[in-house]
Amino acid sequence: MAQLDFGGTLENVVTREEFTLEKARETLKDETIAIIGYGVQGPGQALNLKDNGFNVIVGQRQPSHSYDKAVDDGFIPGETLFSIEEAAERGTIIQYLLSDAAQISVWPTLKKSLTAGKALYFSHGFGITYKERTGIIPPEDVDVILAAPKGSGTSLRRLFLAGKGLNSSFAIHQDATGRARDRVIALGIGIGSGYLFETTFKKEVYSDLTGERGTLMGAIQGLFAAQYDLLRSRGHSPSEAFNETVEEATESLYPLVAENGMDWMYANCSTTAQRGALDWWKKFRDAVKPVFEELYDSVESGKEAQLSIDSNSEEDYRIKLEEELKELRASEMWRAGATVRKLRPQNA
């Protein structure tokens, strides 16, 4: 395990140079990895593991769109694609990648397949951290591990195909076999992680829920909407408001931040932009910090988890979700965005 300096704090991380793909294959050579669920994370992790030479099977309900997708992706019914129950029986490592709500409902069935020595793998600490609410309490004679890519399954797959990697955290909740650490690191390398950093199930879910509601999705949409609406109210056109709010950020500036950091991006903008950004960023930080404090407290207390469980368990959840997404889709800002995307120059 390498020790690296992250902004003055030393952290232990695992790199692909240290724990090679060949070592990962050797570690898991006798394992059957059962991917339970083929929705958000399932396809990317399953296909990356398969392409990297691991023994992978998929368990998915039938009929379903996800089952059909698994067939389209090359998994063969009766050979590498099974029902959830049969895949869990066959697997020595069970990657539990259903949605948080589905994990709760399927748990009584899945638990029957968790015989001594198997490993139960998560990519989200939700089910274990909030076990009093989810009822997910694994037997004591199985490994309970986590590898959580810091991005969507789609991004994980795209970066893998591009020869890159998506950083992941890893955690060990229960080491029944003495091999939990090697198992989870091998899986992290196998799914295509850029590097792996250690955490706990609780820290993973706290940071993840905060991030999703904060700068990754919730806060960024709120920030975009506030600026777009302000510009429109002051007489700017939809095209101008969208380009200055979203397009320039996502297409021009954010990639520079990803490549070299915020300071580099500032240094490579106009002096007028530099001055304004340096003058205003702390005002925005101070304005939103109380909101983040409230958000983290809600995550830590379990309130956010319960809201998610209650909402996702409602029979009309999908209908209500579509209505909320429709509100975004139908907003002027994102209708303008759809037009802007069509006008982007296409590669020859």
Q: Would you state the structure tokens that stand for residue 201, as one six-digit string?
A: 């199930």
CA angle 79, 81, 87 (to 5 degrees): 100
Measured CA distances, 319 to 37, 311, 322, 331 (Å): 21, 11, 5, 19
Report angle CA 313, 154, 248 to the nearest 5 degrees.
Answer: 105
Using a 10 angstrom Cβ sphere, with 0-12 exposed, 13-18 middle and 19 or more buried, the burial of residue 25 is middle
Q: Smallest Cα–Cα separation from 321: which of 99, 135, 155, 103?
A: 99
Cα 228 to Cα 246: distance, rounded to the nearest angstrom: 9
Assign residue 75 a region (left: φ > 0; alpha: ψ between -120 and 50; beta: otherwise): beta
Q: Cα torsion at 208, 211, 217, 218 (round to 10°)?
A: 110
Distance of alpha carbon 94 from alpha carbon 118, whole angstroms: 8
- Point out the catalytic residue in the list 65, 124, 173, 236: 124
Q: Please indicate whether residue 124 is annotated as part of the active site.
A: yes
Cβ 69 vs Cβ 178: under 8 Å:
no
Q: What is the rounded CA–CA span in Å between residue 247 and residue 224?
A: 10
What amino acid positions are annotated as catalytic residues?
A: 124
